[in-house]
Amino acid sequence: MIRSFYIAAKDLKAEFRTKQMLNSMFIFSLLVLVVFSISFGDFLGDTEKVEKLAPGVLWIAFTFAGMLGLSRTFVMETENGCLEALMLCPVDRGAIYTGKILSNLAIVFLMEAVTLPFFIILFNYSLGIGTLLLLLLILFLGTFGFIAVGTLLSALTLGTRTRELLLPVLLLPLLLPVLIPAVEATAGILAGNSIGNLIPEIRLLAVYDLVFFVISHLVFEHVVSD
């Protein structure tokens, strides 16, 4: 476990030297929000419509921006034979996967933390602290599932000819069981529901996270065994 942290720390250190990925992800997600906000401009005052549309917009922004980052996470290792060196590390392959998940989670959370205030401003929400905490819980569960599958598929598409194109094609159908409950739960929270009403969504997200983390952890070794 501690070794996963070393790998994550290495990735984060490399990322914070340039902040290339973080910046482009953040700007991309902001642009998605702005584009939707502009196209919904006519009825942003209509709370009922905004409540139906905004949660989906938020998750579209997160998913697409997150995908930008995911497609880079193993590509950056291909330079100077880093991937081979990483595989030579005296650690279990599963630890490499967990390390990559941790660094991706940190980066995507940072992106989400900066995007969320803009979302609240553009779509004119005023959230209490309890609602915000609940929203963070759903964001965590949804993002974890997204990253768990995305990191594996990022490694999987590394060896293909069209990796940047292939990643979204492979990832989106598998993400449906995360996106539906995440969007539903986000809509519920923004509409002022309490945690009691969100149990089915939270349960489904937790099951997805657990199942896909375990399975991906098991098969990761086959993905990188070149």
Partner 1 sequence: MASNSRKTGVLAVATASVMLLAIYMLFFYLPPIKDEAGEVLSGSFRIFFFHMPIAIISYLAFGVVFAASILYLRDKSLKWDIYARSAAEVGTLFAFLVLVTGSIWAKDAWGWYWIWDLRLTTSLVLFLVYLAYTMLRKALEEPEKRARLSAVFGILGFISVPLSFFSIRLWRSAHPLMFGGNTGGSGGGLEGTALQLTLLVNFIAYFLLFLTLFSVKVQNERMEEELDSRRYAE
Interacting residue ranges for partner 1, rule: CB under 8 A: 149, 152-153, 156-157, 159-162, 166, 169-170, 172-174, 176-178, 180-181, 184, 200-201, 204, 207-208, 211-212, 215-216, 219, 222-223, 225-226
- Between 46 and 164, name the residue whose CB sits nearer to partner 1: 164
Instruction: Name the minimum Å distance from CB 45 to partner 1.
Output: 24
The H or E element spanning position 58 is: helix 47-73
- Between 46 and 221, name the residue whose CB sits nearer to partner 1: 221
Q: Are 178 and 59 in contact (CB under 8 A)?
A: no
- Between 26 and 212, name the residue whose CB sits nearer to partner 1: 212
Q: Is 27 exposed, middle or buried (0-12, 13-18, 19+ CB in 10 A)?
A: middle
Instruction: Name the minimum Å distance from CB 188 to partner 1.
Output: 8
Instruction: Name the minimum Å distance from CB 166 to partner 1.
Output: 5
- Between 106 and 191, name the residue whose CB sits nearer to partner 1: 191
Instruction: Name the minimum Å distance from CB 154 to partner 1.
Output: 12
Q: Are 187 and 51 in contact (CB under 8 A)?
A: yes
- Between 138 and 156, name the residue whose CB sits nearer to partner 1: 156
Distance of CA 206 to the CA centre of its chain: 15
Tokens 């991706």, residue located: 104
Instruction: Name the minimum Å distance from CB 49 to partner 1.
Output: 15
Phi, psi of 57 (to 5 degrees): -60, -45
Q: Choose among 47, 38, 206, 77: nearest CA to 137.
A: 206
CA-to-CA distance for 75 and 24, rounded, in angstroms?
16
